[in-house]
Amino acid sequence: MLTAISTLDWFPIQLSFQVSTLATAIALIFGVSLAWVLARLRFWGKEWLDAAITLPLVLPPTVLGYYLLVVLGQRTFLGRAHEWFWGSPLTFTPAAAVVAATIHALPLMVKSVRAAFEALDQRIEDAARTLGASELRILLTVTLPLARRSIQAATVLAFARALGDFGVTLMIAGNIPGKTQTASVAIYDAVQAGREQDALVLVLIVSALALAFLYTANKLSSTKF
């Protein structure tokens, strides 16, 4: 056990936290925007859009990963577009791990925040409107502060889900040690290779870090401002 800790490669853990943070940030920006669109605007196909965003939670990760590999692969339109814009392919890079994590974090964000927006008392927003506030000002000073708790909770969920992603990451980012191997994939790899000690150490460290993070997040979000 002690030797397993001293020889532990911290790269996967570091990568996992970087990937999850980035994925959560992306999910936060797009998730809150999408949730607002879904809660406040009326347009055809709204519920279809909502369902499509939720789909990644339903599909088996390896199946979803396979489709993403086919859609984002280096010979596809999207893959080429990414390579043209960023100068490097998307698949089998840490960026692909971010995509994998975001795809699962986004629905959790959209669903929770949309519900929070819809549960708000519309009369408070209307009151702001009668006082002449612009829609943007209403969003920033009324809607978002009132939905703050739900957004915080959704962010924690999104981060936790991003940290735990395995199947999609394995497919589109691959299991390349030192490059794209996240903590979840490293744990799987250690178990598959019969390195139970390494796997156990990784599980304990990731669990401890995640617990500490979730605890802190809960503490912070229950603080009254």
Partner 1 sequence: MPNPWLLLWAALLASAACTQNPALKVTVPPVTIYVAAASDLTPAFTEIGSCLGASKSIKVVFTFGSSGLLSKQIEQGAPFDLFASASGGFVDRLESQGLVLQGSRQVFAQGRLVIWQRQDTATPVNSLEDLATPAIRRIAIANPEHAPYGLAARQSLESKKLWEAVKEKIVFGENVAQAFQFAQTGNVDAAIVAQSLAMRPQGRAIPVEPAAHAPIDQTLCILRRSQQPEVCRQFVEFLFSADGRAILRRYGFVVRSTVLSTE
Residues that bind partner 1 (CB under 8 A): 66, 69-70, 73-75, 79, 89, 91-92, 171, 174-179, 189, 191-194
- Residue 191 Cβ vs partner 1, minimum distance, rounded to whole Å: 7
Are 89 and 83 within 8 A, CB to CB?
yes
Comparing CB distances to partner 1, the nearer of 62 and 141 is 62
Comparing CB distances to partner 1, the nearer of 31 and 167 is 167
Distance CA(78)–CA(84), nearest Å, equals 10
- Residue 199 Cβ vs partner 1, minimum distance, rounded to whole Å: 11
- Residue 77 Cβ vs partner 1, minimum distance, rounded to whole Å: 14
Beta-carbon contacts of 174 under 8 Å, excluding residues fewer than 6 positions away, are 91, 92, 96, 180
In 3D, which of 90, 222, 68 has the Cα closest to residue 152? 222
- Residue 162 Cβ vs partner 1, minimum distance, rounded to whole Å: 22
Comparing CB distances to partner 1, the nearer of 45 and 194 is 194
Beta-carbon contacts of 41 under 8 Å, excluding residues fewer than 6 positions away, are none
- Residue 27 Cβ vs partner 1, minimum distance, rounded to whole Å: 25
Distance CA(94)–CA(108), nearest Å, equals 22
Comparing CB distances to partner 1, the nearer of 40 and 179 is 179
Query: In the structure encoding, which two tokens stand for residue 22, read together?
Result: 């980035």
Distance CA(173)–CA(188), nearest Å, equals 14
Distance CA(5)–CA(200), nearest Å, equals 10
